[in-house]
Structure 1
Amino acid sequence: MTQIVMLGCGALGGLFAHHLALAGAQVAAVDIWAEHVAAIRAQGLRVQFPGTVVASPLRDAHTDAAALQGRAVDYLVLFTKSYASREALQSARALVGPKTVLVTLQNGLGNPQLMQAMFPQQTVLYGVTTLTSDTLAPGLIEPRSTTSGVTDLCALDSVDADGALPRFVALLQRGGIAASAAPDIALAVWKKLVINCAFNGLCAVAELTCGELVADTTMWPVLDGIAAEVAELARAHGVDLADDEASRFLRQVAEASKAHYPSMVDDLRHRRRTEIDGINGAVLRECNALGLPAPANRLVHGLVTALEARNAALAA
């Protein structure tokens, strides 16, 4: 049986853990939210669908990766916030054996490269997903776009001598996720960054779902401006992402995820640190280095950063 450890089991990590468990994998989860872990251990991860709540096979949950020490792990899947990646990987270092494959489907830029730098001998799989999910309560998540979302994966630097990529994709497919393997997903990665940059911060500041944000068409020029800046940066990196393609993708995802609150909304509500520095902030750093203007992304980054600072002051 395939042994999988999820580092981060929130809304999206939990959704993938659920589907991997449905596929027959032995899945264990590590998450720092103690109440969430306790609820999963007591009742299994609960997944809410229209009209019903399903108890997932996932019950093996812990707040510390050390609880799993000695277990042979086939896939270590990272689903933490991007700013917590290094610490999470370091905490799970003892779980990484000679054949352990590292997987990330996180937001932002640089996570696969971080994995490779920390574990240079391991195969690294990375990808993007348009699936969305919300956390309703400890131990309870609600998928928002399972029927329409897609997940694409590839091996970093095309290094996959043992066929880890097709095996992992097959597991996802068996568990009910529309997944595919691709030799190069650079375009998909940048299109996902377009979505994160356009929706996450603005939805968080306004406390709106993706659908509510675009219900008034006056927001589209703002969102298209954000998308155009990301697309220009992608082209500077050799990825052929046209402005109109980025804008079309924004509209597709807005329709598919109209009931979804990006996780950044919940982060600001609960005065937690957000991923803004790894999303719009990453775009700003790259644009600054290349001399490209990014006023729309700068505004979103500034708004969220200001709210984070306010929350920190209130907590002090």
Structure 2
Amino acid sequence: MGAGAMGCLFGGLLRKAGEEVWLVDPWKEHMDKVKKEGLLMSDSSGDEYIDINATVDPKEVGTVDFVILLSKSNYLSKSIREALPMIDEDTTVLALQNGLGNVEIISEVVDNNQIMFGICEVGSDLKGPGHIKCHLLDGVIKIKPLNGTVDHKVENIVNTFAKSGVNAILSMDVEEDIWGKLAINGCFNAACALTRLKAGDFIGHNEGMALVEDILREIVAVARAKKISLDYDKIMGFIKIQLPKVGAHYPSMAQDAMNKRLTEIESINGAVAKEGKKFNVPVPVNETIVKLMSIIQNSYELQF
């Protein structure tokens, strides 16, 4: 549900592994192209078309065993309600959004015992209707059942991902992983959207690296106030190791700004700002980024 770049990546890999899969997304041109020609998946080894179900209407699908919810956080409340025709008491829903507050939105309409959540460290770009470019396929997804119970359904989901080539692992400490990813997204997503630069080009400037350091210090301070362990030096080390792999990539928020869409600013730097205020931790850099990004996404029609 939310068959953009990441939804198509997971859907395509699961379909290749023999699962019955539906892609559901409101972009009609995209879904029509997949229905007519198949999903085109490109990576460093070449191109491959995947025959897969696709629709704009969740009612067409009927109830399913497993919903991977990949709508971005700013559309999540609408998306989970639209997904309800696919969900009954036996359906598991996995949330893999960036940022904070997503599980709370889903739990408004889905029983907590049916919800899993986590982070995703693989990557994909939507190149056009029906076409994705895959990268970081050696990355992992870390997931956890919201109720903390690992039953046969949870084990089956992990095994199904493994069969499809997705390195999924159960992580009962996934909240720390979520904050770790939040830290990386917080450093780059809005900054690249504001500067209109790819990650590598942004951090290639001394001022870009200095801004990353400022953002990260604030995020680490807020996490520690919440008793969540984040290591500043470890995250900076990870950024420097990963940058050659993703440096030529526009982060998702930059892609949204490029296409004049609403962004996930409120669930990333905005969430840091809210938590900082709650715990009386000063976060002026993140607050400024939120204000600037909010101005941009609410005035696209006025910009040069």
Contact 2:121/2:140 (<8 A) preserved: yes
Deviation at 1:186, TM superposition (A): 1.6
What residue number does 2:80 align with?
89
What are the equivalent positions in structure 2 for 1:3-22 lying under 5 Å apart? 7-22=1-16
Structure 1 residue ranges (4+ consecutive) displaced by more than 4 angstroms after TM superposition: none
What residue number does 2:57 align with?
64
TM-score normalised to structure 1 length? 0.90
Letter matched to residue 295 of structure 1: P
Contact 1:44/1:56 (<8 A) preserved: yes
Query: SS of the residue aligned with 2:165?
Result: coil
What are the equivalent positions in structure 2 for 1:134-145 lying under 5 Å apart? 134-145=125-136
Query: SS of the residue aligned with 1:151?
Result: strand
What residue number does 2:22 align with?
28
Deviation at 1:191, TM superposition (A): 0.6
Identity fraction in percent:
29
CA distance in 2, matches of 1:114, 1:159: 21
Query: SS of the residue aligned with 1:260?
Result: coil
Residues 279, 237 of structure 1: alpha-carbon distance in 2 compared, 3 angstrom cutoff: same
CA distance in 2, matches of 1:61, 1:216: 42
Query: SS of the residue aligned with 2:108?
Result: helix
Residues 144, 213 of structure 1: alpha-carbon distance in 2 compared, 3 angstrom cutoff: farther
**CA offset digits 1:52-101 (Å, max 9, x no partner):** 2111232x111121222xx3311111100101111111112122112100
What are the equivalent positions in structure 2 for 1:1-316 lying under 5 Å apart? 7-50=1-44, 52-58=46-52, 60-68=53-61, 71-120=62-111, 122-147=113-138, 149-160=139-150, 162-313=151-302
Residues 206, 110 of structure 1: alpha-carbon distance in 2 compared, 3 angstrom cutoff: same
Deviation at 1:121, TM superposition (A): 5.6
Deviation at 1:224, TM superposition (A): 1.6
Query: SS of the residue aligned with 1:118?
Result: coil
CA distance in 2, matches of 1:51, 1:19: 15
Contact 1:80/1:106 (<8 A) preserved: yes
Contact 1:287/1:294 (<8 A) preserved: yes
**CA offset digits 1:162-181 (Å, max 9, x no partner):** 32222112111111122211
**CA offset digits 1:124-146 (Å, max 9, x no partner):** 11111111211111111111211
Contact 2:71/2:97 (<8 A) preserved: yes
CA distance in 1, matches of 2:184, 2:132: 21
CA distance in 1, matches of 2:301, 2:128: 24
What residue number does 1:4 align with?
none
CA distance in 2, matches of 1:238, 1:61: 43
Query: SS of the residue aligned with 2:144?
Result: strand
Letter matched to residue 42 of structure 1: K
Query: SS of the residue aligned with 1:266?
Result: helix
CA distance in 2, matches of 1:312, 1:278: 24
Residues 295, 124 of structure 1: alpha-carbon distance in 2 compared, 3 angstrom cutoff: same
Letter matched to residue 150 of structure 1: V
CA distance in 2, matches of 1:252, 1:232: 23
Residues 98, 157 of structure 1: alpha-carbon distance in 2 compared, 3 angstrom cutoff: closer
For structure 2, the 5+ residue unaligned runs are: none
How many residues are matched?
A: 304
Letter matched to residue 36 of structure 1: H
Contact 2:71/2:79 (<8 A) preserved: yes
Deviation at 1:273, TM superposition (A): 0.9
For structure 1, the 5+ residue unaligned runs are: 1-6
Deviation at 1:217, TM superposition (A): 4.0
Contact 1:131/1:150 (<8 A) preserved: yes
CA distance in 2, matches of 1:21, 1:122: 26
Residues 293, 312 of structure 1: alpha-carbon distance in 2 compared, 3 angstrom cutoff: farther
CA distance in 1, matches of 2:299, 2:287: 18
Deviation at 1:38, TM superposition (A): 1.1
Deviation at 1:239, TM superposition (A): 1.1
